[in-house]
Structure 1
């Protein structure tokens, strides 16, 4: 780093840090949203009666943060010595369960009744590894507590689920994300317009990490974070653009709809999956009849499946728009 860069970094404290870590809540009370979950976790901590936990839900909704906050409140400054986190893709096999987890569970420690093992993305564990984990949970239940984080709890075998208190984290509310964004902007002395906040909330789609990363990225581009900057930096289409494309197809103007799609994919750099996600999120907000909305959702399901199976995303999206246009003509 040059002297000029160093001076710039010093004059803008915090902008060289990763904000999702800088502003990660350290206590359960600091976590925004999940008003039905946080009080129950706090009760476990206050009563010193922590069971095995399974936290399920989408990414960026606070599962890892809640797990670390539990450890911090139980162990204080010693939380890192009593909290084992496994989340790398090469840490999912049966050998890890048999070796690293067991070694941590067996190791001696003083001053606490149990240690915590946090398994992130536990639904990626193989069936053999989950069976080994079930036995390990039984064997070391007297001195170890497990917290399992997963996106799809249905991928966890029933014997493990029955041993855990299950908490389902939903997508964070718009108000929770807006509150966090405004708080960070104030702390970092960043001017954010109301349109910029609304754009960050829309682009995040319930994922706090996306909102904070988007804010940090947009803040680097200029002194004021506005709607245009957010949509540009997050590679997100404006809701009205997506709505216009669907409306053009419904009205039978396939050429105009295809032109709008090409702008989104080629000029704006959106992926086909991003377009599908935005269409799905906004389907019922469009000024469309119920019948047209149902047709749109049906087509979206077909396109999403075909792209997942390896079909060309641009071809499939154009076919969807063409089908909507032909249905209107019929």
Structure 2
């Protein structure tokens, strides 16, 4: 089992950072408040601990039985198409990701599947038998139509169900859904918190973690706790005794994005654009999220570009990332971004050479 799963806190009292947020969740699960608990919206950056806090919250309400989860795969028929959905749940809650079925079918999931779950699953005897919890992941990736359908379902089944929505960006959740939830922001942990958790996990694994290595991992992880733990475990796999000057392991796809950035700036031709398109498509085929590819590629390009070009590249990145979120073919928008950067860099290179000649 990976360290990130093995040492995941399961109780609110055992959470390592954001104590003020922990106290807020404890007040919500008190005997006086739990009966009036509203729908919840947890939002914050990846690796901040949103899902960990959701599961700790459910355990505080229902007890250890919420950890006895099972995976269920069910087929649903919409018109002429069959859709396969994976559920993870216990006797007290059900967890699913509506955006897994794609941007065109998530509305049907919100209308039919979630409605069926809300109708067919009776409230548990725990917590006074008041409600059952439905946890929806990546709500910000659902289409607007699906979110509108979700709003109607939330209103209709408030008496028997509570919805816990989890997302990275609350701005991508429509206002009618946000207004029906208590929004709980889970900020990224500070660098000191990351180092403290890394030291605690390594102590449990009886693996001394040098201070210098912990510092470099915390910086490289960019305040992402999950990523930091995976990095330390990768270092441990590579070298059983961690050393002060050990190299921090970086994901292969991130190195590959660095190669793509070099290819973009080495040559600006249609042939090179086709080569870069194939490399980007290889990343997407390996299930790397297109948003992460776009962000990482932008950061790698900014490291290598002249300061006068950076504002234009950032503007292009923002424009095409927005188009990426609205569209359904990520490769088109990432390729358009690369082509725009190539054109801007080619123009800058020609102007720079002319200026040098003068």
1:55 aligns with 2:24: no
Alignment of 1:216-231 (within 5 A): 216-226=233-243, 227-231=245-249
3-state DSSP class of the match of 1:310?
A: helix
Q: 1:58-104, CA deviations, whole angstroms, 9 ceiling, x for partnerless residues?
A: 11111111111111111113322111111261287233223332233
1:19 aligns with 2:36: no
1:65 aligns with 2:80: no
3-state DSSP class of the match of 2:335?
A: coil
Q: Which runs of 5+ in 1 are unaligned?
A: 1-16, 238-253, 256-270, 284-291
The structural deviation recorded for 1:228 is 3.7
Question: Higher strand share goes to which structure?
Answer: 2
The match for 2:63 is 76
The match for 1:146 is 163
The match for 1:31 is 15
Instruction: Give the TM-score taking structure 2 as reference length.
Output: 0.65
1:101 aligns with 2:114: yes
The match for 2:29 is 45
Structure 2 counterpart of 1:301, from 300, 304, 314: 314
The structural deviation recorded for 1:233 is 5.9
The match for 1:248 is none
Cα distance change, pair 56–273 in 1 and its aligned pair in 2 (3 A): closer
Cα distance change, pair 323–35 in 1 and its aligned pair in 2 (3 A): farther
Aligned 8 A contact 1:57 1:169 in 2: yes
The match for 1:115 is 132
The match for 1:90 is 101
3-state DSSP class of the match of 1:192?
A: coil
3-state DSSP class of the match of 1:26?
A: coil
Output the CA distance in 1 between the equivalents of 2:346 and 2:218. Answer: 28
Output the CA distance in 2 between the equivalents of 1:210 and 1:164. Answer: 29
Alignment of 1:233-252 (within 5 A): none
**How many pairs were matched up?**
278
The match for 1:241 is none
Aligned 8 A contact 2:298 2:314 in 1: no
Cα distance change, pair 317–189 in 1 and its aligned pair in 2 (3 A): farther
Cα distance change, pair 279–210 in 1 and its aligned pair in 2 (3 A): farther
1:208 aligns with 2:225: yes
